[in-house]
Amino acid sequence: MRRILLKAKIHGATVREINLNYEGSLVLDESLMKAADMIPYEQVEVDNVSTGERFRAYLVKGEKDSGLVGVLAAAAYKVKKGDKLIIASYVLLDDDEIEFFMPRIVILDEKNRIKEIK
């Protein structure tokens, strides 16, 4: 049997940019993506902690060490600057892989700097 489990989560990301006129979805600082083991074009679920809104997006690599969290195109209607987000990616695992698997949790401060990695 295969199961879908949380692969990685970025917790406490603050929206710093909104751009309705962009062909993309969710732009993240390259350093944050690397810390969470996420890659460009990977599908993510975004939970807007500020409003309760949820949506699916894909990642676009942003400038390294910029702290950028930007919501682009149609997804930009679901947020406003300053909203707090949880960005999660998932993985499909066989039962024999699950026992040894641990998701990566990246906790951010108010400036989108890494505070802790679990």
Query: Which is catalytic among the residues 58, 77, 89, 90?
Result: 58
Query: How is residue 12 written in tokens?
Result: 């406490």
Query: Which is catalytic among the residues 22, 25, 31, 90?
Result: 25
* Rounded Cα distance, 70 and 26, in Å: 6
Query: How is residue 13 written in tokens?
Result: 């990301």
Q: Is 25 labeled as catalytic in the residue annotation?
A: yes
> 97 Cβ partners below 8 Å, 6+ apart?
none
Q: Is 58 labeled as catalytic in the residue annotation?
A: yes
* Rounded Cα distance, 103 and 51, in Å: 25
Active-site annotation, residues: 25, 58
